[in-house]
Amino acid sequence: MVNYIFDGTFDGLMTVIYVSYYNRQIPNDILSENSYQRNFFGDDVYISTDIDKSNKVQDAIKNKISQEALKKIFYVYLSELESSYMLIYKYVRLGFKIGKKIDNYLQNDIVHNVIKLSQRVNHEAYKMIELIRFKEIKKGLFYAKIHPDYNVLPLIVPHFAARFQNQYFVIHDVKRNLSAVYDKKSWIITDISPEKTLITKEEEDYENFWKIYYKNISIDERKNLRLQKQHMPKKYWDILIEKQ
């Protein structure tokens, strides 16, 4: 039994798939090095990330299956579930056999689980886009914190980069200690955390005004906390100005 170990990146996972096909070897499991524990009852093989091999696999997925399939795979990867690596591997193998119609096979557990998990990740990305609140921490620099269940930072940054093209901003995923930094031209994701955030006086005045406005427009007799929690889950309330 062979276990493939990789660096945890998406390119690393694609490299694992390439090596598996090249060696004609189906792994017993695929594990990231961060969660890897040595197995004394089988062979553990570390696969170094190779961008060229990763690109070849991604091109093959787009050509033999579909662009949408590659998108689903990436979303499943962003779920960060350890079991997702083998799920992606099995989905790709199945897709190379079935081709472009793979997602019609909803009765297949592999297809069903990939679609279901990718939808969950996509749904949370939309939630973050709806609920993110930026604060001006320095003149012209805006900051927002998030702590999503899934690693949706790569999915939401393009939206804000397109929407706020003329603003510097940082979106900080405090759960993963990752920050997306935009400089009016391009954005990167880094593990460098912003320093302790302080807001400008103008931003503080704006927040107070918003809280007063939110309180005044609410009608106590028409409050529906169950519906409110449905649209704004309580786990996100700490990033909402009006809920603080």
Q: What is the pLDDT, as a whole number, of residue 213?
A: 35
- In angstroms, rounded to a whole number, what is the distance separating the alpha carbons of residues 14 and 56? 9
Find the helix or strand (DSSP H, E) in which 57 lies.
helix 51-64
Q: Coil, helix or strand for 117? A: helix
In the chain, % of residues over pLDDT 70: 76
Is residue 152 predicted with pLDDT exceeding 90? yes
User: What is the pLDDT, as a whole number, of residue 43?
Assistant: 81
**pLDDT tens readout for residues 39-70:** 655 588 999 999 999 999 999 999 999 999 99
**Predicted pLDDT of residue 141:** 86
Confidence of residue 135 (pLDDT cuts 50, 70, 90): confident
128 versus 211: the higher-pLDDT residue is 128
The DSSP bridge partners found for residue 20 are none
Question: How much is the pLDDT for 137?
Answer: 81
Q: How far apart are CA 36 and CA 177, in angstroms?
A: 21
Provide mean pLDDT across the span 215-220: 52
Mean pLDDT, range 169-190, rounded to an integer? 91
- Whether 186 contacts 166, CB under 8 Å: no
Share above pLDDT 90 across residues of the chain, in percent, rounded to a whole number: 60
**Cα dihedral across residues 82, 83, 85, 86: positive or negative:** positive
Rounded distance, CA 222 to CA 10, Å?
47
Query: How far apart are alpha carbons 240 and 238 in whole angstroms?
Result: 6
102's tokens:
């793979």
pLDDT at position 2: 87
Average pLDDT for the chain = 83
Spatial distance between the Cα atoms of 227 and 233, rounded to a whole number of angstroms? 10
Rg (CA), the chain: 22
Stretch among 21-30, 70-79, 159-168, 185-194 having the lowest mean pLDDT: 185-194
* Strand partners for 46: 5
20 vs 233, more confident: 20
Q: What is the pLDDT of residues 78-123, one digit of tens each?
A: 999 989 999 999 999 999 999 999 999 999 999 999 999 999 999 9
Q: What is the pTM of this model?
A: 0.79
pLDDT confidence of residue 124: 95
Dist CA 56 CA 33 (whole Å): 23
Q: 75 pLDDT exceeds 60?
A: yes
Q: Identify whether the C-beta of residue 67 lies closer than 8 Å to the C-beta of residue 98.
A: no
Residue tagged 């405090």 (tokens)? 174
